[in-house]
């Protein structure tokens, strides 16, 4: 059995979601290749070759791949898929964009958000916002899985797999126009070791910036938010943590003025240590919190900032 892992990268850096997806792939087979899609991505391919257990790296480049155009990504993967029994994609926003398309073209039923590999055809995935786990078995000739990176340890680095270059596809129906990249000195939300999140209690975008962001900066943390905070315009969309936002599992998650609705918990309950600050002692967030502070964030957060120096 051979497995193809699609690397998560930005043409310059390989994200460690790839290392985690390789761990899932190695539970399926020892024949694991990594496909790097991009442009000018030689450094990414070299980094992928260092991941432990990788047999070969395939580097496919084109301008459209460099811009992450799903049509080109899909055509490239489908062109290579004949040599593989499974295609594994990190369950990121990008991966969730093209994986269903790849599955449709391969006449496979995609299995999303895999958190455990039971055997070469059986996988565990969360359903109902993480309140139940479903075990699914597939008879598809080529399995297409998205892998939840937070559920797997990152594969180590000690490998020396060779890089093979293949032609990358271009899109025929989609044309790249422009892109706006968010520039931030903070760590990326899904990869951060510490996340500080704010909820509806902030009451305004100004308050969110005044309370959440300085604490995050002090801790070198990423900033997250509840959907209520995002919907109210206190924080940008890409800060949302939860069932319909990002799934995070940092070493430390600090929830400030967040009630702990199941849809929010679905995105953060696997964090190693959870700290909740909420003035309502009965808020559900305290059921998952390792440390809870019942109090007004307007007094607790300044005290925390002072204690951090
Ligand atoms: C299909 C679906 C998908 C969803 N997806 C998501 C998702 O991905 N992510 C998500 O977050 N939600 C999601 N939701 C929404 C979710 O159900 C909740 O409505 C939302 O999480 C509530 O956000 P909140 O905790 O910030 O607000 P609230 O529930 O209003 O909680 C605010 C909390 O702040 C506390 N508070 C108020 N003032 C203070 C103060 N001064 N100091 C300290 N504490 C204070 C209150 O006691 C309260 O507990 C989804 C809902 C649906 C139906």
What's the average model confidence in pLDDT over 64-87? 98
Can you give the pLDDT at residue 183? 82
| Pair (46, 115) in one structural domain | yes
pLDDT at 257 over 90: yes
| Pair (214, 102) in one structural domain | no
- Which H or E element spans position 55? strand 54-61
Full-prediction pTM beyond 0.75?
A: yes
Last residue of a domain, one of 167, 199, 220: 167
Q: Which of 93, 233, 242 to mutate to test the pocket of ligand 1 (most atoms within 8 A of CB)?
A: 242
For residue range 7-16, list pLDDT tens digits in order.
Answer: 999 999 999 9
Is residue 177 situated within a structural domain? no
Can you give the pLDDT at residue 184? 84
What's the average model confidence in pLDDT over 160-172? 97
| Pair (24, 133) in one structural domain | yes
Is residue 183 situated within a structural domain? no
Can you give the pLDDT at residue 129? 84
Is residue 76 situated within a structural domain? yes
Residue identifier of the C-alpha nearest atom 35 of ligand 1: 257
Please identify, by atom number, the ligand 1 atom nearest to the C-alpha of residue 298. Answer: 41
Can you give the pLDDT at residue 231? 98
| Pair (55, 126) in one structural domain | yes
Confidence of residue 214 (pLDDT cuts 50, 70, 90): very high
Q: Where do we find the tokens 């440390």?
A: 291
Can you give the pLDDT at residue 101? 98
pLDDT at 131 over 90: no
Please identify, by atom number, the ligand 1 atom nearest to the C-alpha of residue 200. Answer: 26
Q: Domain tally for the chain?
A: 2
Can you give the pLDDT at residue 160? 95
Please identify, by atom number, the ligand 1 atom nearest to the C-alpha of residue 285. Answer: 49
| Pair (247, 295) in one structural domain | yes
* DSSP letters for 212-275: HHHHHHHHT-EEEE-HHHHHTTSS-GGGBBSTTSB----SEEEEES----HHHHTTTTT-SEEE
What's the average model confidence in pLDDT over 61-65? 98
| Pair (100, 155) in one structural domain | yes
Residue identifier of the C-alpha nearest atom 29 of ligand 1: 259
Is residue 174 situated within a structural domain? no
Local structure of residue 290 (DSSP, 8 states): S
For residue range 19-46, list pLDDT tens digits in order.
Answer: 999 999 999 999 999 999 999 999 999 9
| Pair (137, 27) in one structural domain | yes
Mean pLDDT of the chain: 96
Residue 170 CB partners (closer than 8 Å, separation 6+): 62, 63, 64, 72
Can you give the pLDDT at residue 12? 96
What's the average model confidence in pLDDT over 137-163? 97
Residue identifier of the C-alpha nearest atom 45 of ligand 1: 257
Share of the chain above pLDDT 70, in %: 100
| Pair (61, 158) in one structural domain | yes
Least confident piece of the model among 184-193, 196-205, 216-225, 289-298: 184-193
What's the average model confidence in pLDDT over 261-267? 96
Instruction: Please give the residue range of the domain that contains residue 290.
Output: 189-308
Cα angle value 232/236/240 (rounded, 5°): 85
Is residue 21 situated within a structural domain? yes
| Pair (231, 139) in one structural domain | no
The answer to whether the beta carbons of residues 93 and 69 sit under 8 Å apart is: no
| Pair (163, 193) in one structural domain | no
- Centre of ligand 1 to C-alpha 113, Å, is 24
> Whole-angstrom Cα distance, residue 80 to residue 114?
22
| Pair (113, 259) in one structural domain | no
Half-sphere exposure of residue 152, counting CA atoms within 13 Å on the CB side?
Answer: 28
Is residue 28 situated within a structural domain? yes
Q: Give the CATH number of the domain where residue 249 resides.
A: 3.40.50.1220
For residue range 222-251, list pLDDT tens digits in order.
Answer: 999 999 999 999 999 999 999 999 999 999
Is residue 117 situated within a structural domain? yes
pLDDT at 295 over 90: yes
């Amino acid at each position: 059995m051979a497995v193809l892992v699609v690397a998560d990268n930005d043409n310059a850096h390989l994200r460690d979601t790839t290392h985690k997806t390789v761990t899932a792939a190695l539970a399926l087979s020892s024949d694991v290749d990594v496909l790097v899609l991009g442009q000018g991505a030689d450094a990414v391919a070299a980094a992928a070759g260092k991941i432990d257990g990788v047999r070969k790296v395939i580097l496919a480049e084109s301008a459209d791949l460099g811009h992450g155009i799903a049509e080109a990504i899909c055509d490239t993967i489908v062109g290579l898929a004949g040599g593989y029994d499974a295609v594994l994609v990190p369950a990121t926003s990008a991966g969730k964009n093209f994986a269903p398309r790849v599955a449709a073209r391969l006449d496979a039923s995609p299995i999303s958000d895999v958190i455990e590999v039971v055997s070469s055809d059986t996988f565990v995935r969360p359903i109902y916002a993480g309140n139940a786990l479903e075990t699914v078995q597939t008879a598809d000739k080529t399995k297409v899985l998205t892998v939840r990176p937070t559920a797997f340890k990152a594969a180590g680095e000690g490998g020396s797999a060779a890089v093979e270059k293949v032609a990358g596809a271009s899109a025929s129906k989609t044309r790249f126009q422009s892109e706006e990249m968010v520039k931030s000195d903070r760590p990326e939300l899904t990869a951060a070791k510490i996340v500080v999140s704010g909820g509806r209690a902030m009451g305004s975008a100004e308050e969110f910036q005044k309370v959440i962001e300085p604490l995050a900066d002090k801790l070198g943390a990423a900033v997250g938010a509840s959907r209520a905070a995002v919907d109210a315009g206190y924080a940008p969309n890409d800060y949302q943590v939860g069932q319909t936002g990002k799934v995070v599992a940092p070493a430390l998650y600090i929830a400030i003025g967040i009630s702990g609705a199941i849809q929010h918990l679905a995105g953060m309950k696997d964090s190693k240590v959870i700290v909740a600050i909420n003035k309502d002692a009965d808020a559900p967030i305290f059921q998952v919190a390792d440390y809870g502070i019942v109090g007004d964030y307007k007094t607790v957060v300044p005290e925390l900032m002072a204690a951090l120096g």
